[in-house]
Structure 1
Amino acid sequence: MIKRPTFHWLMVPALLIAPGLAQSAGPGDLLNGQIDGISKQVERRAEALVERKVAERTRERVVNADELPEKLQGQLSELLPVRTRDGETAFYETLQSDGSRAVARQWLITATAEELDRLRRPGVTILEQQKLEGLGLTVVRFQVRPDIDSRAALKKLLPELSERLDRNHIYSPQSRASGAVPNRAETTTASLCPEPVRVGMVDTLISEEHSAFEQAKIVQKPFLTVANQTGELTAPRAHGTAVASVLVGQSTAQSQPRLPGATLFNASVFYEGSEATSGATLAHLLEGLNWLAEQNTSVINISLTGPDNRILATAIKNLQQKGPMLVAAVGNEGPAAPPLYPAAYEGVIGVTAVDKAGALYRWANRGEHVTFAARGVNVPVAHPNGGFVQDSGTSLAAPVVTALLACSLPRMSNEQAIQALIERAEDLGAEGRDPGFGHGFLDDQSGRFKNQPAG
C-alpha cells in the first residue's frame, strides 16, 4: 500500500466544503492543540474530493456510450472499461454503494458439478469454471442481468447457494508512484538470514532487469487472461517492483538483501486500468493464490486491500490450513477507515507502517487486526524504469515482517515464529497490543534481529 499524494494547497477550499467541522472547534480546543486533528480531517476530505474528480474525469475521457451494451448505458457514470493490451474491452469496473469496486454484473460462487446445474436460470450466464486445487475450491464465475444484480435478488433466485457467492470484487495496491521522491539518502540494510527460503508474493509484475535484483532469484507467473477475450490485460510494474526490492533487493552497493538466499515466487495479478486506476479482480487473485499454494512457500506477502468477500475469506482459510503464513498490509485509508481485507481476516498478520522516529504513518488503517508495525515511511525502493526512489505506505512495511517470518520458519512452527516476533517487538503505543501498533514495532535492522533464535 504505497502512499497517497498530499494536497496542502486545498486546505482553504476544503474548509469551505466542511464549515461545520471548522466551526466545531472553539478557542480552547485550538489552544489545546486540537487544530492539528481538524486540519488532518479537512485535508483528508480535500484529498478524497480530488481523487473522486480525477476518477470522474478519467471516466469521461475513456468511456464512450456507444461502446456499452444497451442495458448498461444508463449506468455510464458508474462504469469504467478495462481493456486488453490489444485495445479490446475485457470488462467494466463499477463502483458499489459501499465504495468498493467490482466487475460489473459478475459474481463468483464455490459450487460442485451438481450444484452448477442450479445456476442455469434465466438471466444467469456461466462464464467460467475453475478447479483451484491449491485452495481446495471449485469456483464458477457468472454474469447476471441488471435486474438481478444484487445479493437480495440472487438470494431469492438461488436461496440454497446464496451464502457461497459474492461479487467479483476488485482489489487495489493503491500505488501512488507520482508521490515518490528521489532517494538521496544512503540507506543500508543487512541480511536477516542466508537460508534458501521460499517466499510468495501476490502483486503487480516485477521489473526483474532492475539492478536491485542482480543477485535475486525471482519466479513470476502472470494471471491476466480473461475468458472469451483475446490478449491479456496490461500489467503494471511499479508496486510489485517496490515491494520485491524490500524483500530481496539491494538499494545501494553497501546494502545487502534481507533474504539473499530466497527464491521469490510472484503471482502477477494486477492490471493497468487507466492513468488513475489499477486493480486485481477476485478471480485473478484466487488464481494467483492458488499457484502460490502449490509452490511450497513458507510465507506469502499480500500488499493489497479490498472489501470483505465470502469467496476470498474461504480461500484464505483453506490456504492457511495448507501451511503458509499470510502477511498483509492493513491499508492506507486513514485511522478512521473500516478494516480492509485480507489483512482483517482471522489468522492473517496485518502490518502497519511507521517512520524513523517510530510514529505511525499518517494514512495507515487502525484496528484490532493490526498485528505488527514495521518501517514503511520514506523507504528506498526500486523504480521499474531504473534507479531508486523513496516511498511510503503499509505495502512497504509488510515485506519486512514477511522476511522476518521467513527466516524463523525453517527452525520454528508458525505459532513459535509469531511468539518470537511478539517478544522482540518494541511497544510504542499503549501498553500491550493496541489498534495502532499491534504488538509493537519490529526494527529488523536492530540488534534484536542480528541473530535469529534457534528452534
Structure 2
Amino acid sequence: MVTLNATLRTLGLALLLLAPTAWGDNRGGGSGSGSGSGSSGLSRPMTLPSTPTSGWPGGRTTPSNPGSNNSGKDGARTDDAAKDGAGPGRNGREDGSTRDGSGRREGDDRNGGPLPRPGADMPEARWQRGDQLVRSNPLAYERDPIGAPVLRAEITMLLPADAELPAALARRGFIAVRESAVLGRRLIVLRTPADLTLARAVALGRRLVPEAEIDFNHVLLGSGRTEPARRAPPPPAPATSAPPPEPVHVGLIDEALVPGGELTLPGEVRPVGARCLSRAVPEGHGQAVALVLARGLQQAGRRPVLHAADLGCGQGAVDAIATALQALDAERVPVVNVSAVGPYNRVMAAVVAAFLARGHLLVAAVGNDGPAAPPLYPAAYPGVIAVTAVDRQGRVLVEAGRGEHVAFAAPGIVELPGPDGTTRTWRGTSLAAPVVAAALALRLRQPDPAAAQAAVAQLARNALDAGEPGRDRIYGHGIVGLPATALAAAH
C-alpha cells in the first residue's frame, strides 16, 4: 500500500508539472479541445503588426518589383510580370504566386488583411479606403498581389481593332463580359475561369495571347479628402467680369456631378457617356474637383464647359476610364483632368499613350501616399502632367507624392460651401490637379500634339519656381495658381 501511494503521488506531481505546457500548446496553435479550443478565441497565436517601412504590403523594407527602389523613383521596367504578380517573379512561378497558389506574395494579407502602409495615420488614407472597399463588397472586389483593389474575377485585354477574341482563351474558359472600341483598339473585359486565381489568369492570358496587352481591372481611388464641416458663412464668390461668348472646354473623369447638388457649378456641364447615379452614390469628390476646375476658368474671365465622365458605371475601374477617354477624344476635348490614382497597369498605359498621341493633355494627381511612396498612376505614365499639392504658403503637403514625374504643384487646400450653410475644407492632390488643368485648358483650345507641348512649356515658364532652381522632384517646374507674394513670404 505504501508503495502504491508513493507511485500515485509521483504520477500526480508529473501531471501537475505537465499541465501548463499542454494548456499553452493547445491555446497557441493546435485545434485541441476543451477550454483551449477555437471557441474560446485562443485557437490562433496573437501576432502584432510590424512597423511599416515602405509603401508595399506587409511592411517590407524593399518592394518586390526588381525595377523599383526605396527612393520612390520608378525604375526600369524590365519585368512587368514580377512587378504586378502576374508573371515570373522571385519565386519562379509564372504568376508570382506563393507555394499555396493563392496569388499573394509573402507578407500580403496576413491575418485577413494588409498591414498598415505609410500615411496610415492620415484620415481616409488611400490604402485604407481600398481595404474598406474590398471588405464591404467582397463579391465585387478583391486585391491584386500587391494589395491594390480590383474587380473580382475580371481581367482587361487590349487588341487591335480588327482582331477576334482568341480561341485559346475561350477554350480555357475565359468569357467576354464587356467590350468597347477605345482609341482605335478593341478593349475586352474577360471573366476568368473559376479554377484560376486572378494572378494566374493574368499570367495565362499573357502566355496564350502574347501580342495583346492584358492586366487586372484595377480600381482607381480619389486622391483628396474632406475635413469635418464647420459652421461658417461660405466664402464669397470670386469677382468676375462678364464672360465672353467663347467657351473653354475641359474634361473631367471623376464621380458623377449630381444636378442640384450642394455645390453650384459655374458654367455648363455636359455629361459624357452613361450616367449611373442609381448604382453609385457620389461622396462629393467629383463635385469639389469640378468646382475648382470651373472656378479656375471663371477667374480667368472664361465660360467653363465641363465634359464630365461618370465613373459610377465601372466603379472607377480601368475599362471605365478607358471608355471615358474614348468619349472625350470623340468630342475633341483638349485637356482632361483625372484626380484618381492606382498601380501601374499595362492596358491603361497603352490607352493613355494613344490618347496623348492624338494631341490631348491628361492632367493627373500624384496621390497622397506620402513622399516616400512609389509613383502612382496615371500620373506617372510618360507624357501625363503629374500635379502635386502645396498649402497657401507654397509648402508641399506632407502627404503629397513626390518623384521625377512631378510636372507642377498647385494649391491643394480649398474651402468650398457645404450643406446647411457650412464651409467644408477639402485637402489633397485631387484639388491641385484641376488648378493646372484649367491653366492648360486656357492655352490649348483643341487637340494638337505640337500645340499641347507648347502649352505645357508656356505654363512651365510662368510657374513660380520653388525648391531647387529649375525642375525638381518636389515641385516639378514650379507652382501654378498661387500669388508670388504668398510664396515669397513662406520662402
The answer to which of 162-171 and 359-368 deviates more is 162-171
Task: Give yes or no for the alignment of 1:107 onto 2:140.
Answer: no
Call closer, same or farther: CA 1:179–1:147 in 2, change over 3 Å.
Answer: farther
Match of 1:166? Answer: 215
C-alpha displacement of 1:386: 7.4
Using the TM superposition, give the Cα deviation of residue 208 of structure 1 relative to its aligned residue in structure 2, in angstroms. 3.7
Which TM-score applies when normalising by structure 2? 0.66
**1:217 touches 1:263 (CA, 8 Å); kept in 2?**
yes
2:279 to 233, 236, 239: 233
Matching of residue 262 in structure 1 with residue 304 in structure 2: yes
Q: 1: CA distance between counterparts of 2:124 and 2:293?
A: 34
Structure 1 residues 131 and 99: CA distance shift in structure 2, 3 A: same
Secondary structure of 2:219's counterpart equals strand
1:7 corresponds to which residue? none
Kindly state the Cα deviation for residue 122 of structure 1 after the two structures are TM-superposed.
2.6
2:401 matches 1:350: no
Equivalence for 2:424:
389
Structure-1 residue corresponding to 2:268 = 217
Give the Cα–Cα distance (whole angstroms) in 1 for the partners of residues 336 and 197 of structure 2: 34
Of 315, 323, 346, the residue aligned with 2:359 is 323
Task: Please give the per-residue CA displacement for 1:14-64, whole angstroms capped at 9, x wherever unaligned.
Answer: x9974999xxxxxxxxxxxxxxxxxxx99934458998788778877x5xx
RMSD: 3.8
The alpha-carbon distance between structure 1 residues 232 and 140, as it changes in their structure 2 partners (threshold 3 A), is farther
Q: Answer yes or no: is the 8 Å Cα contact 1:148–1:154 preserved in 2.
A: no
Q: 1:419 is aligned with what amino acid?
A: A
- Look up the equivalent residue of 2:462 and give its one-letter code: R
Q: Residue 435 in 1 paired to residue 473 in 2? A: yes
Indicate yes or no: 2:146 matched with 1:98. Answer: yes
User: 2: distance between equivalents of 1:258 and 1:206?
Assistant: 23
Amino acid at match of 2:168: R
SS at match of 1:371: strand
Q: Aligned match of 2:178 in 85, 109, 128? A: 128
Bigger mean CA offset, 388-397 vs 173-182: 173-182
Q: Distance in 1 between matches of 2:153 and 2:262?
A: 43
Compared CA separation, residues 260 and 433, structure 1 to 2 (3 A)? same
Give the superposition deviation at 1:145.
2.4
Q: How far, CA to CA, are the matches of 1:374 and 1:213 in structure 2?
A: 23
Distance in 2 (CA, whole Å) between partners of 1:50 and 1:110 is 31
C-alpha spacing 1:374/1:221, structure 2 compared with 1 (3 Å): same
Is residue 428–residue 437 contact of structure 1 (8 Å, CA) maintained in 2?
A: yes
Query: What is the aligned counterpart of 1:245 among 284, 287, 291?
Result: 291
Provide Cα deviations, 1:308-366, integer angstroms capped at 9, x if missing partner: 11111111111112222111111111111110111001111001110111100111011
Contact 1:204–1:270 (8 Å) recurs in 2:
yes
Kindly provide the amino acid, as one letter, of the partner of residue 323 in structure 1. G
Q: Does 2:242 correspond to 1:206?
A: no
Distance (Å, rounded) in 2 between the aligned partners of 1:57 and 1:320: 33
Query: How far, CA to CA, are the matches of 2:421 and 2:331 in structure 1?
Result: 29
Relative distance call for 1:333 and 1:388 in structure 2 (3 A) is: same
How far the C-alpha of 1:128 sits from its partner, in A, is: 2.2
CA–CA separation in structure 2 for the residues paired with 1:46 and 1:410: 42
Instruction: Find 2:411's aligned residue among 375, 394, 411.
Output: 375
Q: How far 1:413 sits from its partner (Å)?
A: 1.6
**Which structure ranks higher in relative contact order (CA pairs < 8 Å, sequence separation ≥ 6)?**
1
Unmatched tracts of structure 1, length 5 or more: 1-14, 22-40, 63-79, 82-90, 226-230, 273-278, 448-455
| Alignment check: 8 A CA contact 2:125 2:368 kept | no
Q: Which has the higher Rg, Structure 1 or Structure 2?
A: 2
Q: What SS does the corresponding residue of 2:439 show, helix, strand or coil?
A: helix
Corresponding position of 1:44: 119
Inter-CA distance 349–428: structure 2 relative to 1 (3 Å threshold): same
After alignment, is 424-433 or 381-390 more displaced? 381-390
Aligned to 2:441: 406
Cα deviation, residue 270, structure 1: 3.5
Deviations 1:393-451 (A, max 9, x none): 1111111111111111249921221111111111111121111101111135669xxxx
Equivalent positions of 1:8-19 (< 5 A) are 18=51
The question of whether the paired residues in 1 share the 8 Å contact of 2:385 and 2:406 is answered with: yes
Identity, % of aligned positions: 31
Q: Cα distance, 1:371 vs. partner?
A: 0.3
Separation of aligned partners in 2, 1:446 and 1:415: 25
Asked if 2 retains the 8 angstrom alpha-carbon contact of 1:201 and 1:300, the reply is: yes
Equivalent residue, structure 2, for 1:365: 401
For the residues of structure 1 that align with 2:227 and 2:317, how far apart are their CA atoms?
A: 24
Provide structure 2 residue ranges, at least 5 long, that are not aligned to the other structure.
Answer: 1-47, 55-115, 486-491
Inter-CA distance 181–343: structure 2 relative to 1 (3 Å threshold): farther
Closer/same/farther in 2, CA of residues 157 and 390 from structure 1, 3 Å limit: closer
The TM-score normalised by the length of structure 1 is 0.71
CA contact (8 A) 1:304 1:331 kept: yes
Q: Distance in 1 between matches of 2:221 and 2:254?
A: 9
Query: Which residues in structure 2 correspond to 1:420-431 (within 5 Å)?
Result: 420-431=458-469
Letter in 2 for 1:108: T
Shift of 1:187: 6.2
Q: Report the secondary structure of 2:433's partner residue.
A: helix
Aligned length: 370
**Match of 1:264, as an amino acid?**
L
CA gap of 1:384–1:100, structure 2 versus 1, over 3 A, is: farther
1:298 partner letter: P
